[in-house]
Amino acid sequence: MRTPFPFALLAALAAPAAVAVEIDGRIDPAEWEGAQHVTDFRLTQPLSRAPAPQPTEAWIKATPEGLAVGFRNLQDASVPRTRQRTQRDEGGPVDRVNLYVDFNGDGRTGYNFMVTLAGSVEDGTLTNENQFSNDWDGDWRSAVTEDEAGWSAEMLIPWHTAPMRSAEGGTRTIGIAVDRVLGATGERSTWPAIIYTEPRYLSVFQKIQIPAFSQSLLAVTPYVVGVQDMVAGGAEFDAGGDLFWKPNGQFQLSATLNPDFGQVESDELVVNFGAVETFFNDKRPFFTENQNFFDVPFGSPNNANRLIYTRRVGGPRDDRLGSADVTAALKVNGSMAGFNYGVFAATEGDEVGRDFYASRVTRDFGSQGLGATLTHVDRPFFDRQATVYEVDYRWAPNARWNIRSTAVASSVDQSGREVRDTGAQVRIDHSFAPGWRQQLFAVHLGDQLQLNDFGYLERNDFNYARYEIAHRLTALPDTSAYNAHEIRGALSRRMNNSGRHIADAWAVNWSSERRDGGQQMFDISGWTDGFDDLITRGNGAVRVPPKLYAIVQRFRPQKGRWSWRANARYAADGLGGIDEGALSISVEPVYHFSDSLNVFVGMEARYDPDWLVWRPDQDPATLDNRLGTFESNRLSLDAGATWLIDSKQELRVRLEVIGLDAELEQVWRVAPDGTPVAVDESVGDIGLRNMGFQVRYRYELAPLSHLYIAYVRGGAMYDEEIGGPFDARDEFTDAFSLRDSEQLLVKLSYRFEL
C-alpha cells in the first residue's frame, strides 16, 4: 500500500529552506519547519502492512548542504533497546533507522544510509531493484540522542554523494524510502509500505520533488604505507592517492595513482578444489566509488555472475609471478541529454601488465529503460584482446510486474585467431496475489562465450531455466514464536549446448522471522541423475547419480550476554548417491562483554565419505579425465574479537584456521559415454592446512581518513602422499605454526577537500 502524497506537502518541501539543520540528533521544530513530515509507517517485516507497533516519525528536507532526514522513534518500556555498537557496515540485530535514496528517481541506482541507536553507521548501494552492496563508503553525517520515551536520529547526505541528471524548473524528482527496525523483535516499519524482498523495490520508492540544489567537490586522498616483512626481512614503503572531482551534479570523476589496494583488508580462507573459481568482494576504495553504475549481473539468478569483476584489475599476473602492479585508474560518471554514462579505465604497469576499459550508457523512458555496456581488455602476455558487448532492457508496466532481459556477445582475438559467441537471459518477476509472487528465469550461454577477462562467469556452454513460486504468511497468532514465514518452491532444468542433460532439480525453502529478532531457515533440494561437464576441466562429462542437499540454520540475537548462530548441512553430490553425503555442523557463539566489546568463536566440523575430486595426471599420452573418491574430514575455526574503543577507534582481532585430510577410496577414469570406471591407479592422499591471523587497529582522523596499524601472519601447506596417512586434527593444530608470511603494516590516508 502506498501513502497518498498531498500536494500541499509538495509545495512546502519545495519552498526554500529558511533555517539550516544542525545534525546533532535533536529534532528542533524550528530547524525542520517546511520539511515533509511522515507518520504513516507500516509493518513490512512481517509484511502485514499494518500500522507500526511503535510510533515513528520522519522529516525530509532539502537544504543547500544536502538532503536532511530526521527520525523520532518512540519505544515502549516493554520493548528492550539494543545499543550494541557495530563496525561500519557490520549491521546486525540492533535498533536502527534507514534512509534509501534514488537521486535520479528512475529506479536505476539507490543509496542506503543506516544509523543505529548506538550511533554506528552503515552505507551501501542498491541496484537491480533489490541487490544491495556494502562495499561503498560515503562521506555523510549523522547523530543520535536518546531519552526515556525513545530516541532520535538525524542524517545529512551531501549533494556531491552521487551523480544526478540536470534538473528542470528549479526542482528535482527523487525516489525515497525510510524505515525503522526494532532489534529486539526484528520488526521493520517502512514508509512507503514496500520491502526489498518483493520483486519491485527500488523502482517503487515514493517520488517527491525537492529544490534542485547542487554542490561541487574536489577531494584528494593521498596515502602512505610501510610494511615490515618479518619472514623475508627488510621493509617496504609505498605511496599513492585518489582524486575525486565533482564540478556539478552532471559530472563526476574519480582517479587513482598507484592505488591503495586494500592492504588492511583480508579475504576469508577458502578451500576450493572445484572447477569454478571463488568469488571475492572488492573493498578497495577506488573501485567502490560509484561502481554500481557498471554493475550488470548476467548468467545466474542469484546475481553472482557479472560483466565487470573489478578483482581482475591488480589480480594475479598473467605470467603467474605474483600480483599485478596497477599504475593508474580512471572513472567518469555523468549525465547528458537524458542519458546516464560511465567510463572506466585501468592500466597495470609491469611488463606483462594488462589494460582494462569499460563504458556504459543508460536511458530511461518511464516504465521502460535501456542500457548498453562495452568492455575491452588487452593482455600482451597472451597476445590476447577480449571485447564484450552488452545490451539490457527493463520493463515495469505496473507495481506487479518487473521484466529484465540482457544480451551479450564476446569477441576474443588471441595470436591472430578470433573467437566469437553470444548469450542472453530474461527474468520475469510477478506479484499475482496478496502474499504470492512468482519468478521465471532463463539463460543461454554459448560454448565459446568468454567474459572472464574482465567479468566473472561461473561457466559457459549452458542453458538454464528456473521457475519459482513463493508465499508469505504474516497472519500468525500472538502466541506464535514467529512474526512471519516465507515458503518458496522451485523447479529447474540444466543442459549444455550439445544437448547433454546436466540435471533437473527441485527445491523447497522455508524461512522464518522470529519474534525474538532472530531468523531460521530450512532448505532442501534434489537433482536428478545427469552429467557433470565441468569437473574434468574439458576432458569429458561424467555421468553422476542423483544429488541431495539440505540445510538448517538458526540465528538468535543477543539476549543478555550471548548471541549465537548455528547450521547443519547435508550434501550428497558424489558418485555414491544420496545416502553417502557430506555432513557438516557449525556453531558460532558470541559473548558480549559490553555494547562495544565482543568475542566470537566459530567452529565447523565436516565429514564427507564420498568427496569427488579431479586428479590430473599430467601424462600427455592419456586424456586428463582421472577422478578420485576420498573419505575426508575437515575442521575449521573462525574466531576473533572486536573492541570499538570510542566513535573513532576500533581494535579487531581475527583468526581463521583450516585442517583437512582426505584418504583415497577409489580412482576412476571416465569412459567415452561418461560412465566412471574404477581403475587400479595410484593417487596420493591429501593433507591441507591453512591459517590467517590479523590484529588491526584503526583510528578515524576525519571522514574517510584513517590511520591503520596491522599485524598479519598466515600460511598454507598442501601435502599429497601415496598411502598418507593424514589426520584433520593434526593438520588443524599444525596450522597454528604456519609462517609463510608475517608482516607489520602501518598505513595513513587523509582526505583533503579543496
User: In this predicted model, what pLDDT tens digit does every residue of 399-419 receive, in sequence order?
Assistant: 889 999 999 999 999 999 999
- pTM to 2 decimal places: 0.88
Contact 63, 213 (CB under 8 A): yes
pLDDT of residue 261: 53
Q: Which of 517, 597, 587 is nearest to 558 (CA)?
A: 517
Contact 438, 400 (CB under 8 A): no
Q: Which of 556, 600, 606 is nearest to 586 (CA)?
A: 606
Q: How far apart are the C-alpha atoms of 190 and 176, rounded to whole Å?
A: 11
Q: What is the pLDDT of residues 604-661, one digit of tens each?
A: 999 999 999 999 887 766 778 999 999 999 999 999 999 999 989 999 999 999 999 9
Q: How far apart are the C-alpha atoms of 73 and 147, rounded to whole Å?
A: 10
Take residue 374 and report the three cell numbers written for it.
562495452
Nearest 5°: the CA angle 470, 472, 478 is 160
Contact 244, 253 (CB under 8 A): yes
Mean pLDDT within 317-345: 91
Take residue 747 and report the three cell numbers written for it.
598505513
pLDDT of residue 263: 59
Q: How far apart are the C-alpha atoms of 156 and 67, rounded to whole Å?
A: 6
Strand partners, 194: none
Query: 350 pLDDT band (50/70/90 cuts)?
Result: confident
Mean pLDDT within 265-280: 84
What 3-state class would DSSP assign to 49?
coil
The proportion of the chain whose per-residue pLDDT surpasses 90, expressed as a percent, equals 72
Q: Which CATH number fits domain 7-213: 3.40.50.1370, 2.60.40.1190, 3.40.50.1220, 3.10.20.30?
A: 2.60.40.1190
Q: Quick check: bond before 259 cis, omega within 30? A: no
Residues 6+ apart with CB under 8 A from 590: 558, 562, 563, 564, 598, 599, 600
pLDDT surpasses 60 at 366: yes
Mean pLDDT within 21-45: 94
The full length of the chain comes to 754
Q: How far apart are the C-alpha atoms of 446 and 408, rounded to whole Å?
A: 10
Q: How far apart are the C-alpha atoms of 76 and 210, rounded to whole Å?
A: 34
Q: How far apart are the C-alpha atoms of 603 and 78, rounded to whole Å?
A: 35
The alpha carbon of residue 652 and the mean position of all alpha carbons in its chain are separated, in whole angstroms, by 21
Contact 140, 155 (CB under 8 A): yes
pLDDT surpasses 60 at 13: no
Q: What is the pLDDT of residues 476-524, one digit of tens each?
A: 898 999 989 999 999 999 999 999 999 999 999 999 999 888 999 999 9
pLDDT surpasses 60 at 262: no
Residues 6+ apart with CB under 8 A from 578: 526, 545, 546, 547, 548, 572
pLDDT of residue 620: 66
Q: How far apart are the C-alpha atoms of 275 and 626, rounded to whole Å?
A: 14
pLDDT surpasses 70 at 12: no
pLDDT of residue 469: 97
Helices and strands per DSSP (H, E), number in the chain: 3, 41
10 Å CB burial of residue 321 (0-12, 13-18, 19+) is exposed
- Sequence letter at residue 656: E
pLDDT surpasses 50 at 5: no
> In 10 A of CB 675, how many CB atoms?
11
What DSSP element (H or E) covers 729? helix 728-735
Mean pLDDT within 371-387: 97
Q: Which of 430, 431, 374, 440 is nearest to 405 (CA)?
A: 440
Encode burial over 7-24: b for 16+ CB neighbours within 10 A, e otherwise: eebeeebbeebeeebebe
Q: What is the pLDDT of residues 151-169, one digit of tens each?
A: 999 999 999 988 888 888 8
Residues 6+ apart with CB under 8 A from 358: 294, 308, 342, 343, 344, 345, 373, 374, 375, 376, 454
Q: What values do phi and psi take at 724, rounded to 5?
A: 50, -125
pLDDT surpasses 80 at 264: no
What DSSP element (H or E) covers 283? none
DSSP 105: S
Q: How far apart are the C-alpha atoms of 331 and 358, rounded to whole Å?
A: 9
Q: How far apart are the C-alpha atoms of 694 and 700, rounded to whole Å?
A: 19
Q: How far apart are the C-alpha atoms of 320 and 625, rounded to whole Å?
A: 25
- Sequence letter at residue 493: R
pLDDT of residue 19: 63
pLDDT of residue 200: 85
303: left (phi over 0), alpha (psi -120 to 50) or beta: left
Q: Which of 423, 425, 426 is nearest to 452 (CA)?
A: 423
pLDDT surpasses 60 at 741: yes
